[in-house]
């Protein structure tokens, strides 16, 4: 990842969808990465938004007796409300119905057309209404596409095939471009077959809810050619050159594995035509499953993150989603695994450490951070592990091993709980108050370092820990706690979830 600036994008979500755990996961991940890079002193920009054009939007609006724009304006707040509830700190929220986006799409269409990369042709093939695209015979027979019909019409096409070899060479020369590796291999496998050209329009006679093609008023832009451009329209392409140069190319574009081809093939060839650099990394994460089945509206097994937040709080939900999924693989959600992870990591380990150390400091040092004196080998070992975390966590996050980075912090937390047990300050206080003070300083300081590291994942509860310790605004370097600081009173950070036994 770029060490000077960090630009991360999520896919723009389909406005008709009800926000679910899949949307929440990608957006929280982008937020965690952004907070991490900002915490490292980097400039960061985080973009998310909504895809609001296309046939399904038009049809849904008609059913409700609304104009498509009124329909979109009515639905968009659902996402904004969820992001606020999840403590998502995005820098921009783009909607494809905004004039700033429409203007850039039309500028790009004209530019690509003028370059000779767009042409008119007649096409006949199988069209999936649900996916809003033409599909191959193989895709038709796979059974994975619904609402299929045979369609014959004249349309505008983008010369995607022209850039096939250039894309293959680029992928081979840039191993970090498509991650994880098995997705890179998947795209290279896809590119072994001749690449067709991309239909980028729909006749207004069939669909009028879209961005008008600037060189043909009888057509609107195909939804993907419109939607993908948001990644550059939001940062000033063709309008604010300084801003665009500052942020493009993106450091990482996060996507679900189901939109791999559209991003790694459609989007990249469009950028080649525009003679723009490609994003440094496109990272495709897996799906959230219930059992072994992907969450989907048709199966009725979608978990609503709002329900989880209302019951357990936002930070436990953020923590679980980030800790449980190995980036690039699928993960299974069960309420049992959520409660188990919450109780073991957050209640028993992290929250309990705060309770113990604040209670002991309150009891023996009038609630003030004690002075630290000479360190024993056991103290030095805690300091050593805590100090090594900065590089370990940075390397893991930069390699998209967020779950492992979290686990490294929890290893320190567990080690400190064990250290406290073995050093037994409740015993040493009877004979050596100075030594007791050092033990509790080392414990509290390791807790502070852990809280700073976990802040991108659980900002609210980590913030509470730092407030209790009087250490807001401190960094991960050892020694941030100031002796004499009065601890703030607090409630249990993560009360245990008790499971009723039947």
pLDDT tens digits for range 53-85: 988 899 899 999 999 999 999 999 999 999 999
Q: In what order do the strands lie in the sheet with 118-128?
A: 133-135, 118-128, 148-158, 198-199
The percentage of residues in the chain with a pLDDT greater than 70, rounded to a whole number, is 95
pLDDT of residue 310: 87
Distance CA 38, CA 468 (A): 23
CATH code given to domain 335-502: 1.10.730.10
How does the average pLDDT of the chain come out, rounded? 92
pLDDT of residue 359: 97
Min mean pLDDT across 29-33, 112-116, 126-130, 245-249 is at 126-130
Within 287-331, residue ranges assigned H as helices are 305-312, 314-324
pLDDT of residue 70: 95
pLDDT of residue 304: 63
Q: Hey, how many other C-beta atoms are within 10 angstroms of the C-beta on 176? A: 14
Q: Judge whether residue 106 has pLDDT over 90.
A: yes
- What tokens does 432 get? 């050596």
pLDDT of residue 296: 53
Of 454, 458, 434, 456, which Cα lies nearest the Cα of 446?
A: 454
pLDDT of residue 1: 42
* More confidently predicted of 92 and 295: 92
Of 385, 383, 359, which Cα lies nearest the Cα of 372?
A: 383
Classify residue 332 as exposed, middle or buried by CB count within 10 Å of its CB (0-12, 13-18, 19+): middle
């Amino acid at each position: 990842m770029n060490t000077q600036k960090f630009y991360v994008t999520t896919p723009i979500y389909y406005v008709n969808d009800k926000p679910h755990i899949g949307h929440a996961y990608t957006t929280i991940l982008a937020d965690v990465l952004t907070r991490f890079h900002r915490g490292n002193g980097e400039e960061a920009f985080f973009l998310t938004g909504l895809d609001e054009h296309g046939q399904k939007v038009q049809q849904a609006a008609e059913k409700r007796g609304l104009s498509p724009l009124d329909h979109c304006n009515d639905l968009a707040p659902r996402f904004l409300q969820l992001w606020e509830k999840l403590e998502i700190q995005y820098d921009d929220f783009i909607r494809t119905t905004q004039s700033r986006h429409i203007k850039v799409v039309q500028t790009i269409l004209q530019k690509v057309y003028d370059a000779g990369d767009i042409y008119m042709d007649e096409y006949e093939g199988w069209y999936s209404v649900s996916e809003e695209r033409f599909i191959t015979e193989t895709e038709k027979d796979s059974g994975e596409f619904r609402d299929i019909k045979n369609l014959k019409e004249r349309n505008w096409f983008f010369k995607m095939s022209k850039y096939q070899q250039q894309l293959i060479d680029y992928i081979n020369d840039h191993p970090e471009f498509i991650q994880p590796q098995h997705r890179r291999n998947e795209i290279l496998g896809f590119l072994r077959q001749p690449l067709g050209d991309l239909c980028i329009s729909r006749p207004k006679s069939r669909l009028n809810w879209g961005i008008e093609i600037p060189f043909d008023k009888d057509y609107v832009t195909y939804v993907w050619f419109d939607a993908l451009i948001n990644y550059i329209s939001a940062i000033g392409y063709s309008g604010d050159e300084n801003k665009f140069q500052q942020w493009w190319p993106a450091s990482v574009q996060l996507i679900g594995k189901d939109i791999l081809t559209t991003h790694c093939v459609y989007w990249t060839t469009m950028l080649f035509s525009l003679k723009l650099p490609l994003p440094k990394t496109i990272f495709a994460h897996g799906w959230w499953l219930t059992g072994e089945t992907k969450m989907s509206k048709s199966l009725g097994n979608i978990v609503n993150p709002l329900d989880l937040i209302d019951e357990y709080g936002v930070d436990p939900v953020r923590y679980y989603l980030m800790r449980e999924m190995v980036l690039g693989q699928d993960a299974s959600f069960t309420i049992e695994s959520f409660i188990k992870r919450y109780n073991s990591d957050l209640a028993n380990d992290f929250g309990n450490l705060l309770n113990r150390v604040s209670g002991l400091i309150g009891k023996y040092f009038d609630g003030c951070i004690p002075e630290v004196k000479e360190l024993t080998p056991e103290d030095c070992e805690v300091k050593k592990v805590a100090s090594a975390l900065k590089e370990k966590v940075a390397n893991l996050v930069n390699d998209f091993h967020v779950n492992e980075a979290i686990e490294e912090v929890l290893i320190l937390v567990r080690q400190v709980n064990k250290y406290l047990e073995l050093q037994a300050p409740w015993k040493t206080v009877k004979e050596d108050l100075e030594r007791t003070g050092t033990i509790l300083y080392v414990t509290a300081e390791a807790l502070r370092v852990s809280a700073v590291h976990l802040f991108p994942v659980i900002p609210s509860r980590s913030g509470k820990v730092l407030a209790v310790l009087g250490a807001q605004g401190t960094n991960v370097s050892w020694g941030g706690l100031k002796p004499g600081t009065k601890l703030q009173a607090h409630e249990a950070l993560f009360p245990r979830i008790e499971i009723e036994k039947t």
